Amino acid sequence: MAAFLPHRKEMRGDTRNRILVASLLLFNEHGEPATTTNEIADEVDISPGNLHYHFRKKEQVVTALLDEFQADAKRVLQPPARGVVTIDDFWVFLHLLLECTAAYRFLFRDLESLSERYPRVQRVLGHFAKGLAAIFEIYLRELSTSGLLIVGDDDAAIIARNLAVIALFSERFDGLTGQEMTADDAALRVAGSILNALKPLTADDAAAHIEDLAAHYDA
C-alpha cells in the first residue's frame, strides 16, 4: 500500500448512511466541536429537518460513528492466525490498524473535549487502547517465538505499550511541535516510527527485511 486513504462508507444508499459519511468527513477535517448539524445537512444536500428525522441531535451522530468504529476496531484487533507469525503478518496488521485510526481521526484528535461531552467516547477508546496494547504484545511474543525478534518475557508488555502510544498519539505530538500533516502522511509516519522502533529488537535473519520496510516510510 502506497498511502492510507480515509475510510468512507459508500456514498450511495439510504440517507442515514450518507449523513454518517458526511459527518465523518467533516469531523475529521474540522473537528467535531467545530461542525454543526446544519453543515452536515448542507454536505448531504438535505434539509435540517430531514437530518433531524434521522438524528435528533449531534450526540446521536457521534454515538452512531462510535458504533461503526467499534465494529471496524474489532476486525482490526484480531490476534494473528495460528502458526508461524512473520514480519509481513505484522506489517499487514499495522496497515489495517492505521487505516482504521485514520478513518476516525477526529476521535483521537478531539479526545478530551469529546470525552467531556460524550462519556462513552472515553470508555470505547480506553477499551481500544488496552486491546491494541494486548495485540501488539501478542505479535511481539509470536515474532520472538518465530526467532524474528529478540524480546524478553519481561519486556514484551512494556514495548507493546510503547508501540500503542506511538500508534495512537504520535499525530498529537507532531501537532504540538508544529508538524501538521495530512491523515495519510501522519499514518505513514507512524508506520515508519513503529517499524524503526523494532529495529533494535530484530534478529539477524530478519534485520534486512525490517530495514527495507522501515525505509519505505522514510521521508
Q: List domains and CATH numbers for the chain.
A: 11-56 (1.10.10.60), 69-215 (1.10.357.10)
Predicted model pTM: 0.88
* Confidence (pLDDT) at 147: 94
* Confidence (pLDDT) at 217: 81
Q: Which pLDDT tens digits describe the chain residue by residue (219 residues)?
A: 333 334 444 444 589 999 999 999 999 999 999 999 999 999 999 999 999 999 999 999 999 999 999 999 999 999 998 888 999 999 999 999 999 999 999 999 888 899 999 999 999 999 999 999 999 999 999 999 999 999 998 999 999 999 999 999 988 888 788 877 788 888 889 999 999 999 999 999 899 999 999 888 865
Fill in the DSSP letter of residue 148.
S
C-alpha cell at 134: 494486548
DSSP 58-76: HHHHHHHHHHHHHHHHHHH
Q: 65: how many CB neighbours lie within 10 A of its CB?
A: 20
Residue 71 CA to residue 208 CA, distance in Å, equals 36
* Confidence (pLDDT) at 2: 34
Residue 57: C-alpha distances to residues 40, 49, 52, 117, 207 (Å): 12, 11, 7, 13, 52
C-alpha cell at 157: 508488555
**Helix, strand or coil, per DSSP, at residue 202:** strand
Give the percent of the chain with pLDDT over 90.
76
C-alpha closest to that of 124 among 168, 156, 166:
168
